[in-house]
Amino acid sequence: MEKNILKIGIIGLGTVGTGVVKALRQFKNIEIVECAVKNLNKKREVEVNKLTNDPMEIASNPEIDVVVEVAGGVNPCLEVLKTAINNKKHIVTANKELLAKYGDELFELANKNNVSILYEAAVAGGIPIIGPVKTTLRGNEFKKVMGILNGTTNYILTKMESDNLSYEECLKQAQELGYAETDPTNDVMGYDTMYKISILANIVFRKQIDYSEIYVEGITKITSEDIKCADELGYKIKLLGLAQKIEENASLDIRVHPVLVSKENTISKIDKATNTVYLEGYPVGEVMFTGPGAGEAPTASSVIGDILAIANEISLTDTILPSQRVKTEEKAVQENILNTKNSYYMALSAKNIRGVIGVIGSICASNNINLQSIIQRGIAKDNTAFIVVITDTTLEADIQNAIKELISKDIKVKNLIRVI
Ligand code: HSE
């Protein structure tokens, strides 16, 4: 670093990249040498010294100390960041997909090259969570990490509840407001949350996580009826990413799916695009971090925090931020969802015939399922009954067997949602 000026190259000048350029204007010790973009002719909100459409140019530019990657996706970012690391550049990235899929390889390469990869912006946008888990909370033995890690889906679920609208109507609103992308698959199918919980589980439990073994369900099957029934029973529906230690066999139960959260639980009160991360461990007990999970300025806050952390140390030491580096050699044993235990909300539709509730009850009983609540609101015009049950804590495999039996008796299972 010359004259205490940290020289950076930025890959991606979309929403987050633009926010980073704006937020860095006040820091005279950071110089943006060059930015890589897809389209050189696009009109931009911010001006930068030099634009290129070749991100490899940034990875190989000898003037650059730190590569800031806010482009997203695996290609070409994986090869670009590997080249940058081999060229001894520190990395700041917001790329959750890349880290969830190739983090182990990138962290190992970074350790070999004595450079740091910082990624506070990759999980829950503006909420500081990666840094605190790796530093101030490091002395804890964690049991659980879970949270609302996707603003788009939380916005949709909140609107379905408050405005009594369908999933499709709320998705359209979220797209109009710029929360949801034109192709919302990553958010609504739960993949974005899967990448984030995989990254969190890696640092919280210090084990390598195989993201492809994480059970994932999105929010596309949630209906207004589910939201109303949940409300009546004292719950809200949230999409959660969850990772917890199963003490008996030291495995990790990691999953992403909608959850009925009791209205008494603070997580149920996290509305719209806000994110939250809850941690349970010893000696800290329970802690929750809440704030803006996406957006130009909040995400830029996390990115520039990481850039400044490097700037603060680069002229002082040869080993920058060792406490922030990731070194996990052991692979986690990841539990199959069928072996997990949960309480369940089951929405059923059955023909209006005598004894049908009895049939449901005996199928549940023969599969070790104890019922906690049951709602039936009259009979629909097509002579079917809509029945909702909440079970006691039950093995997932038992619930899945019961579902097969219910279907064989002509009872439709419209939805199954886990309850916390
Ligand atoms: N699309 C994400 C969200 C933000 O809606 O929270 C980036 O991961």
| Atom of ligand 1 lying closest to residue 187 CA | 1
Nearest to 396 by CA among 265, 262, 253, 263: 253
Question: Residue 391 is inside which H or E element, if any?
Answer: strand 384-391
Instruction: Locate the ligand 1 atom nearest the alpha carbon of residue 149 and give its number.
Output: 6
Residue nearest to atom 8 of ligand 1 (CA): 192
The amino acid that residue 236 corresponds to is K
Q: What is the pLDDT of residues 5-63, one digit of tens each?
A: 999 999 999 999 999 999 999 999 999 999 999 999 999 999 999 999 999 999 999 99
State the average pLDDT over residues 128-154: 97
Question: What is the structure's pLDDT at 179?
Answer: 83
Please give the positions annotated as active site: 196
55 by Cβ neighbours in 10 Å (0-12 / 13-18 / 19+) ranks as buried
Q: How far is CA 272 from the centre of its chain?
A: 15
Specify the pLDDT at position 63.
Answer: 97
Cα dihedral 188, 190, 195, 200 sign: positive
181 CA closest ligand 1 atom index: 1
Q: Over the stretch 282-295, which tens digit does the pLDDT of each residue have?
A: 999 999 999 999 99
Please tell me the predicted confidence (pLDDT) of residue 210. Answer: 98
Convert 296-310 to b/e letters by CB count within 10 Å (16 or more is b): bebbbbbbbbbbbbb
Distance 186 CA to ligand 1 centre (A): 9
DSSP 8-state class, residue 335: P
Largest Cα span, the chain: 85
Percent of the chain surpassing pLDDT 70:
99
| pLDDT at 171 exceeding the cut of 90 | yes
Give the helix ranges, DSSP H, for 74-183. 77-86, 96-112, 130-134, 151-162, 167-176
Distance CA 97, CA 206 (A): 19
Exposed, middle or buried, 139 (CB in 10 Å: 0-12/13-18/19+)?
Answer: exposed
Q: Is the pLDDT of residue 377 over 90?
A: no
Number of helices (H) and strands (E), helices first, in the chain?
Answer: 13, 17
**What distance in Å separates the CA atoms of residue 101 and residue 208, rounded to the nearest whole number?**
11
Closest C-alpha among 138, 182, 338 to residue 171? 182
Of 152, 156, 199, the residue with max ligand 1 atoms within 8 A of its CB, to mutate for a pocket test, comes to: 152
Distance, CA of 16 to CA of 296 (rounded, Å): 5
Residue 32 CA to ligand 1 center (angstroms) comes to 26
Averaged pLDDT for residues 153-162: 97
Instruction: Choose the residue to mutate in 95, 127, 150 for probing ligand 1, maximizing ligand atoms within 8 Å of C-beta.
Output: 150
Residues 148/288, Cβ–Cβ less than 8 Å: no
Span 208-255, pLDDT tens digits:
999 999 999 999 999 999 999 999 999 999 999 999 999 999 999 999
Tokens of 150: 């996707």
Query: For residues 17 and 13, what is the distance between their CA atoms, to the nearest angstrom?
Result: 4
Instruction: Tell me the mean pLDDT in the region 85-92.
Output: 98
Which phi and psi (to 5°) does residue 91 adopt? -120, 135
Q: Are 243 and 253 in contact (CB under 8 A)?
A: yes
CA distance 85 to 91: 7
End-to-end CA distance of the chain: 51
Stretch 398-418: mean pLDDT: 98
Binding pocket residue ranges, ligand 1, CB within 6 Å: 150-152, 187, 192, 293-294
Residue nearest to atom 7 of ligand 1 (CA): 294
CA gap 361, 352 in Å, rounded: 15
Give the integer Cα–Cα distance in Å for 359 and 410.
11
247: DSSP letter: T
Contacts of 41 (CB under 8 A, 6+ apart): none
The CA 192 to ligand 1 mean position distance, Å, reads 7
Mutate which of 175, 179, 199 to test ligand 1's pocket (most atoms within 8 Å of Cβ)? 179
Q: To the nearest whole number, what is the mean pLDDT of the chain?
A: 96
Among the listed residues 26, 24, 36, 31, the one whose alpha carbon sits nearest the alpha carbon of residue 6: 31
Beta bridge partners of 256: 216, 241
Please determine, for residue 1, whether its predicted confidence score (pLDDT) is greater than 90: no
Please tell me the residue having the least CA distance from ligand 1 atom 2: 150
Please state, for a pLDDT cut of 90, what percent of the chain lies above it: 96
Instruction: Compute the distance from residue 177 Cα to the ligand 1 centre, in Å.
Output: 13
Q: Residue with the nearest Cα to atom 4 of ligand 1?
A: 294
User: What pLDDT was estimated at residue 3?
Assistant: 64
- Report how far residue 201's alpha carbon sits from residue 197's, in angstroms, rounded to the nearest whole number: 6
203 within 8 A of 325, measured Cβ to Cβ: no
The pLDDT value given to residue 181: 83
Question: For the residues 172-198, what does the mean pLDDT come to?
Answer: 93
The reported pTM is: 0.97
pLDDT at 399 over 70: yes
- What's the mean pLDDT in 389-407? 98
38-54 pLDDT per residue, tens? 999 999 999 999 999 99
Q: Read off the tokens for 170.
A: 């709320």
Give me the pLDDT at residue 2, please: 58
Q: Write out the DSSP string of 127-145.
A: S--HHHHHTTTTT-EEEEE
